[in-house]
Amino acid sequence: MVSDSDLRLLVKQAREAATTRKFSQSVELTLVLKDIEVKKGFSLNEVVILPNKPTRQASICVVGTGDTGTRARRAEVDRVIQPEELDRFGTNKREARKVVKEHDFFLADTALMATVGRAFGQFLGPKGKMPTPMPYGAPIEAIADRLRGSVRVRAKNQLNVSTKIGDEKLDDSQLAANASAVISAVEKKLPQGEKNIRNTMIKFTMGKMAKLAPIKKEKDKKRTQ
């Protein structure tokens, strides 16, 4: 696995390569993979809890009624959809697509999963956002808090994985720790672990991509001098 010092150096270079803007820039991690036969159906769809929450936290939508809906509102999730609304979304594809785009994670009463699938499935499925079923009495507050500081790491039939690991308001060590958490989660899902990662790259929204390979070569060069 890439060392913490390598990741901190990578974040530092990415930050220096970014142009200052009035908004808080997002920071994205990209892993280039190798030696994987993507034609055999390779895919990743992992939710990774970041050790350092970004300023812009993940958006959560809950589909539920009664006690579930009440507790979801108490947990201050971004949106609660009542069961009676699902028929409307099922016939209004534009509105359903908008809801799917606006939220990062979906939770739904176990009993409503089939109905949610009919209303949103054609948009949730391709995005890898199918809702997590919640049995009666599930700890919504704890689940929502965990998801707010999480990211989805997804790849399908391609040799690269990209996800946001925070924003420029986090310091280099915090961003490096978030990157390390994502890399560790991805390695566990790869056939040969870290051997399947060709390169690691980090980029700020308004900056150039910083790549790990040139950094490692430079460090090796210094050691031989």
Same domain, 69 and 95: yes
Judge if 18 and 71 occupy the same domain: no
Rounded distance between C-alpha atoms, residue 58 and residue 60, angstroms: 6
222 pLDDT more than 70: no
Locate 78 and state its tokens: 């971004």
Residue 68 and residue 51 share a domain: no
Same-domain pairing of 136 and 176: no
Q: What is the mean pLDDT of residues 92-111?
A: 94
Based on the domain organization, do 87 and 112 belong to the same domain?
yes
Q: Write out pLDDT tens, residues 186-207.
A: 999 999 999 999 999 999 999 9
* CATH assignment of the domain containing 164: 3.30.190.20
Q: Does 206 share its domain with 157?
A: yes
Identify whether residues 133 and 172 lie together within a single domain. Answer: no
Tokens 């994205």, residue?
28
> Of 146, 173, 204, which marks where a domain is finished?
146
Give the three-state DSSP class for 27. strand
pLDDT digits (tens, 9 = 90+) for 47-97: 999 999 998 899 999 998 888 888 999 999 999 999 889 988 988 999 999
Overall domain count for the chain:
2
What CATH number is associated with residue 72? 3.40.50.790
What range defines the domain where residue 102 resides? 60-146
Strand pairing class (60-63; 105-109): parallel
- In this prediction, residues 6-28 reach a mean pLDDT of 92
Q: Answer yes or no: do 178 and 139 share one domain.
A: no
Using the predicted structure, report yes or no on whether residue 175 has a pLDDT greater than 70: yes
- Say whether both 101 and 24 belong to one domain: no
Cα three-residue angle 193-196-199, rounded to 5 degrees: 120
Q: How far is CA 99 from CA 15, 104, 141, in A?
A: 33, 10, 21
Return the SS3 of 156. Answer: strand
H/E stretch holding 166 reads: strand 160-167
